[in-house]
Structure 1
Amino acid sequence: MKKTYYLLLTLLVFACNKKADETKTITNSSTENNKTAEKTDTVDLSAEENKLLKIHNNISNSMGNMRNDSLLASSSQQFSDSLSYLIKNNNSTLNYPFEKLQKENALKMATSADKKLRVYSWDNNSGGTMRFFNQIYQFDANGNITVNESLASNDSQAYFSKIYTVQNKSNESIYLVISNSILSSKYSVQHINAYKIGTENLQSAAVFKTKTNTLDKISVEYDFFSVVDRPERPVELITLENNTLKISLVDDKQNVTSKNLIYEWNGDVFIYKGVK
């Protein structure tokens, strides 16, 4: 009887110790996660921006009178790597203004009115008159901050300038992202791309209904010298006001005319209304 009693007591003590060890492991794991989150949340973004600004100054210096292509390439790569790492690993960048980098034209950035989508772009300095732009899309998908990066290689891509937002009948936000490609000193392209934020990703949204198709993007290729005297930069060839989307019409020589293609938002799509 005593042997049975001692055996049961031993098993009970062993079970309690094992349970305590399991609880300790879970607690440690949770603590480690909290430390990681705390580290992310407490990064001094102003100090990080100053570091990026210093790298950008190296880029500018390398393009001066004593051009240094080796320094230009290494500094440009360092800037891209550092900026990408900062945005990918710090959710708070979604609301940080990056005013210094924007003022120095080191970074182009646009944020949606609801603060759920932000797009970043910067010249990677690998082009000539055709400019190559790296891009980052950062968005809030149901509380999860997600980053999509697109580095320019064979495709020169574009820099971002504005985000318009409309609400559809299902109360979803449709984001209209304006971007600009520089193909040469003469030819440029302005784009409008429509997106909505899904449960985990950024989705293209086909909302531009033409006479024959429903598109998720529209582009205007134009001769920059036909609008060079206009004061705004970038030149605004695609605008949205009071649910009316205006897209500049170009002639057969790609000169921008005074007329626009008109689209009206009906709560589901932008319906083509004609030329005005």
Structure 2
Amino acid sequence: MKHLLFAIILLGNSVLYAQDLKFMEQDLLKEITAIRYWQEYTGNDSKINQDDSLAQANTRLKTKLITYTAKNSQTIQYAFKALQDQGMTIATSADKLFRIYSWDTWQGGTMHWFDNVYQFMDNKQSKSLSLTDKREEGDPGVWFSEIFTLQMDSNKTAYLGYCHAIYSTKDSYQGIKLFSIENGQLNDTLHLIKTKTGIRNELGFYFDFFSVVDRSERPVKLIYYYQNSKVLKIPLVLESGEVTSKFIEYIFTGHYFERRRK
């Protein structure tokens, strides 16, 4: 009887969590829908400020997303398919300990402005935050399509966020930004990439999107990471912005990613 009661309690909790997740998703979906509504708004009501309404919808989405994901640890593995169908990108690490939610705020023109929420697990507790306030003025932000995992040693894992920026229909950016979870906090200033100019937290390149527009995949994949060999490959880009078929390789040597000479 005790085993049956325990099983019923577990089943009940699972149902409640599933309902809770579905409620969260639908509430967040309302805010994404509101963002698109205000982005496309064509009314002429003098009492309505379209820009303010759009900004408020984005703020509500971010605030709710931080609150919900911090409240429920199951969210880090939940697909949020309805949100992805409406344009939100969700990148999750293979170990399910780190996730980045990204969306277009639609507050720009041909330059797209993105926002993000970062979620990570600390001793089975979910934590979420925004890093938008750390941006420099005029920085439109990036969105993340993937998170690669680097096991540095038995006690430390680094996460490589594959990020994208859109500055115009022609001018784009792709890069890798490093993160780690340390002492219950998200470290977004992890420096592991050794270059001629110093040891960096981020490695990326600007390019002409029209030089790769004929590729079939979206987003266009220009950066590759091989987890077993710990090799990071980025394309060689000409001064004109043209992406070539050649690659520059960085290999993790135990302390840093260092350029591999051929």
TM range (shorter): 0.7 to 0.9
Give the equivalent residue in structure 2 for 1:222.
207
Other structure's SS at 1:222 match: strand
Match of 1:133 in 2: 114
Deviation at 1:171, TM superposition (A): 4.3
Alignment equivalent of 2:75, drawn from 93, 102, 105: 93
Amino acid at match of 1:163: I
**Deviation of residue 102 (structure 1)?**
0.6
What 5-or-longer segments of structure 1 have no aligned partner? 1-39
Closer, same or farther: CA 196–233 of 1 in aligned 2, 3 Å: same
Question: CA distance change for structure 1 residues 81 and 194 in 2, over 3 Å: closer, same or farther?
Answer: closer
Do the aligned residues in 1 keep the contact of 2:25 with 2:83 (CA within 8 Å)? yes
Please say if residues 167 and 267 of structure 1, whose CA atoms lie closer than 8 Å, have aligned partners that are also in contact. no
Does residue 164 in structure 1 map to residue 148 in structure 2? Answer: yes
**Larger radius of gyration between Structure 1 and Structure 2:** 1
Letter in 1 for 2:175: H
- 233-242 or 266-275: bigger deviation: 266-275
Aligned length: 235
Retained in 1: the 8 A contact 2:69–2:127? no
Q: Distance in 2 between matches of 1:212 and 1:133?
A: 28
Q: C-alpha deviations, 1:44-94, integer Å up to 9, x for none?
A: 111221222233334334444846836544444433333233223333322
C-alpha contact (below 8 Å) 1:133/1:151 kept by paired residues: no
Is 1:82–2:64 an aligned residue pair? yes
User: Is residue 199 from structure 1 mapped to residue 175 from structure 2 by the alignment?
Assistant: no
Aligned residues of 2:195 and 2:258 also touching (Cα < 8 A)? yes
The answer to whether 1:104 aligns with 2:86 is yes
Aligned to 1:34: none
TM-score (norm 2): 0.79
| RMSD, aligned α-carbons | 2.5
Could you tell which deviates more after superposition, 209-218 or 256-265?
209-218
Aligned equivalent of 2:225: 240
Give the number of the structure whose residues are more often helix, by fraction. Answer: 1
The Cα offsets for residues 218-260 of structure 1, whole Å up to 9 and x where unpaired, read as 0111111111111122222221024221011110111111111
Q: How does 1:62-77 map to 2 (within 5 A)?
A: 62-64=38-40, 66=42, 69=50, 72-77=54-59
| Structure 2 counterpart SS, 1:253 | coil
Q: Which amino acid aligns with 1:266?
A: T
The superposition leaves residues 14-46 of structure 1 with CA deviations (integer Å, 9 ceiling, x where unpaired) of xxxxxxxxxxxxxxxxxxxxxxxxxx9686111
Distance 2:159 2:216 in 1: 26
* Correspondence 1:148 to 2:129: yes
Distance 1:183 1:137, change over 3 A: same
CA change 1:215–1:73 in 2 (3 A) is closer
- Shift in Å at residue 267 of structure 1? 3.2
Aligned to 1:124: 105
Q: What is the alpha-carbon distance in structure 2 between the residues aligned to residue 217 and residue 198 of structure 1?
A: 18
Match of 1:248, as an amino acid?
A: P
Q: Are residues 1:189 and 2:173 paired? A: yes
2:246 pairs, out of 259, 262, 276, with 259
1:253 is aligned with what amino acid?
Answer: S
Deviations 1:140-191 (A, max 9, x none): 1333422221337732111111011121244421111111111111111112
Tell me, what secondary structure is at the counterpart of 1:191? strand
Shift of 1:269: 2.2
CA distance in 1, matches of 2:180, 2:232: 18
Which runs of 5 or more residues in structure 2 are unaligned? Answer: 1-15, 45-49
